């Protein structure tokens, strides 16, 4: 997993509450277990009409088609527990999702896949939404090390994050990476077991 420090880029406002995982990535895109190529299906039912032509949707419009940050409504990522949802966001270049609340499983899946979900208060979300509606000036910087979000006018918002999850993102550690940090202990255990129980 890529190490995470600071993300600076265009922020897109998606002010809808209860965006579920089926809206993030429709079910017919779930035929693959690959993490790449899912960006094309991100918000597909909102981005395209039934003939596949682009709708008047925020992520279809410049500069928001290059967004790295989403400022969303409450309860983002609710619905079924599909891991393809954060995969699709990441494949489309989204590294940060900001909301007042997230569905628990989606929230956990984000951290495991290198996306930073940030919870803020209602008035802070409105302030960030205003920043995200400035077109080419809608640039926000998210510093995980300092735990701050900086807007285009220089204002800053502090956010809280679990220290362990912060450590994992800063060091690019997913579940496999965390296990590999203990590879010497694992090898030592396997050697001792082989010597003491060679019949296994």
> ∠ CA 33-69-146 to the nearest 5 degrees?
110
- Binned at pLDDT 50, 70 and 90, residue 118 comes out as very high
- Binned at pLDDT 50, 70 and 90, residue 20 comes out as very high
Distance from C-alpha of 104 to C-alpha of 91, rounded to nearest angstrom? 21
Contact yes or no for 11/18 (Cβ under 8 A):
no
User: Which residue, among 100, 118, 194, 111, has the nearest Cα to 159 in the 3D structure?
Assistant: 118
Taking 80 as the threshold, does the pLDDT of residue 193 lie above it? no
Percent of the chain topping pLDDT 90? 70
- Binned at pLDDT 50, 70 and 90, residue 172 comes out as confident
Cβ density class 106-142: b for 16+ within 10 Å, e for less? bbbbbbbbbbbbbbbeeebbebbbebbbbeeebbbbb
Q: What domains appear along the chain, each with residue ranges and CATH number?
A: 6-173 (3.20.19.10)
| pLDDT computed for residue 188 by the predictor | 75
Other beta carbons within 10 Å of 100: 17
Q: pTM here?
A: 0.88
| pLDDT computed for residue 181 by the predictor | 63
Task: For 57-114, write each residue's pLDDT tens digit.
Answer: 999 999 999 999 999 999 999 998 888 999 999 999 999 999 999 999 999 999 999 9
- Binned at pLDDT 50, 70 and 90, residue 159 comes out as very high
Taking 70 as the threshold, does the pLDDT of residue 179 lie above it? no
Distance from C-alpha of 65 to C-alpha of 188, rounded to nearest angstrom? 50
């Amino acid at each position: 997993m890529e190490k995470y420090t600071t993300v600076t880029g265009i922020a897109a406002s998606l002010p809808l509450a209860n965006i579920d995982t089926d809206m993030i990535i429709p079910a017919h895109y779930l035929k693959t277990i690959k993490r790449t190529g899912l960006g094309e299906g991100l918000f597909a039912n909102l981005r395209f009409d039934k003939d596949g032509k682009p709708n008047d949707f925020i992520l279809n419009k410049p500069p928001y088609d290059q967004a790295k940050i989403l400022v969303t409504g409450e309860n983002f990522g609710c619905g079924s527990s599909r891991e393809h949802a954060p995969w699709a966001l990441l494949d489309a270049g989204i590294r940060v999702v900001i909301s007042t609340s997230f569905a628990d499983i989606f929230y956990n899946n984000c951290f495991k896949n290198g996306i930073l979900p940030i919870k803020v208060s209602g008035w802070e979300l409105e302030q960030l939404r205003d920043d995200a509606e400035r077109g080419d000036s809608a640039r926000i910087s998210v510093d995980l090390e300092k735990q701050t979000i900086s807007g285009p006018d220089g204002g800053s918002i502090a956010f809280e994050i679990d220290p362990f999850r912060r450590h994992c993102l800063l060091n690019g550690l997913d579940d496999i990476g965390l296990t590999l940090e203990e590879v010497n202990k694992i090898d030592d255990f396997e050697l001792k077991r082989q010597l003491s129980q060679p019949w296994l």
